[in-house]
Amino acid sequence: MSNLTIKKIDWQFDGIDFYFNPKQRNFSAFNNMISFMAPGMERYFCKAMKDAEEHITDPRVLDECKDFNRQEMEHSKAHVKHCKALIAKYPGLQEALDASFELYDEHYKAHDLKYHLSYMGGLESAFTPLFGTIINHRDQLFGGSDPRVSSLFLWHYCEEIEHRSSAITVYNHVIGDNRYRMRNVKPMGAHGRMISETLMEIFSRAVPEWDTPDAHLKWADTLPKWTRRMMGLKILASQLPYYPHQAQPLPKYFAEWNRRYEAGEDMRVTYPETPLATAA
C-alpha cells in the first residue's frame, strides 16, 4: 500500500463571492483560476496515469499510481462544486469550466503517454515549492477569507504535497528519460500560461466586479521579495534530474491539518479562525 490517504469531504459553497478574500484580490482570482483549471487538468492526469498502469511492473509504484488518481479525483470533484457555486452567481463562468475540460482533452489527444507522464512529473514536482510557500504564508494570503473557500485550497495544497513524488516516480519507472523530461519543461510552461490567460480573459468578461488583470502573475506580490525569489529558485530546482522530491520538508501546517482532521474537526471551515479545539 502507498502512504497516501483518501479523504472525502462534503464541501459547501452556496453564495460564495469571487473575491473570497477581499484583502487579497489578486490571490483570490489566482486561486479561482486554479479551481477552474483543476477539473480539466486532473482528469487529464488521471487518464494518463490509467494508461500508465499496464506499463508498471513494481506493485508499490502501481499502488502509488492508483492512490494518486483517487486523490486527484476527489480534488476534481471538490473544485467542480466550487466552480458550480461561482457559476450560479456569475453564469458567464460556465465558459471557463468548459474551456478547462476542452483544452486538457485536446492536449491529451495531441500527445503520447511519454509526453503526458513527463508533463505530469514536471508540473507536480513544481507544486511542492509553490503550494508549500502558500501554506507557510497562509495568514497573510488567506487571513480574512471566507473559510469555506480557503479551507478547500489548503486541503488541496496539503494533498498535493502529500503526493509530491507520485508522478515523478511513475515517470522514472515507466519512461526514465531525464533529458526528454527536461526538454518538455518549456512547452509545459507555455501550455500552462495559455490556459491561465484563457481563464483570466473569461473571468474578466464574466465577473462584473473584476479588477485584477494579470492576477496569475501578481498573486504573490504581497509576499517578501526574498520569499518569492526562493520559491522561483526551488521551482526551477524541482525540475532537475535526481532532485530529492520525497526528502522535501513538509510544511508544519500539513501535520496540523491532519491532527485537526483526525480529531473530527469540520475541515470544510477549518481556516481561518477555527480554534484547534481537540487536537493533541
- Considering only residues 88 to 127 of the shown chain, the ones binding Fe ion according to CB under 5 A are none
Q: 212 or 239, CB closer to Fe ion? A: 239
Asked if residue 44 lies in contact with residue 116, where contact means CB atoms within 8 angstroms, the answer is yes
Closest residue to bound Fe ion by CB: 75
Q: 87 or 120, CB closer to Fe ion? A: 120
Cell of 135: 501554506
Report which of 159, 47, 27 is spatially closest to residue 101, judged by C-alpha positions. Answer: 47
Give dist(CA 185, CA 243) in Å, integer. Answer: 15
Supply the DSSP symbol for 239: T
Alpha carbon 233 to its chain centroid, in Å, reads 19
Q: Minimum distance between the CB of residue 69 and Fe ion, rounded to whole angstroms?
A: 10
Q: Minimum distance between the CB of residue 88 and Fe ion, rounded to whole angstroms?
A: 23
Q: Minimum distance between the CB of residue 213 and Fe ion, rounded to whole angstroms?
A: 26
Supply the DSSP symbol for 1: -
Q: 31 or 212, CB closer to Fe ion? A: 31
Report which of 192, 238, 202 is spatially closest to residue 41, judged by C-alpha positions. Answer: 192
Buried b (16+ CB within 10 A) or exposed e, 182-199: eebbeebeebbeebbebb
**How many residues make contact with Fe ion (CB under 5 A)?**
3
Asked if residue 138 binds Fe ion (CB under 5 A), the reply is no
- Considering only residues 145 to 184 of the shown chain, the ones binding Fe ion according to CB under 5 A are 160
- Considering only residues 56 to 75 of the shown chain, the ones binding Fe ion according to CB under 5 A are 72, 75
Q: Minimum distance between the CB of residue 33 and Fe ion, rounded to whole angstroms?
A: 14
**Interacting residues with Fe ion (CB under 5 A):** 72, 75, 160
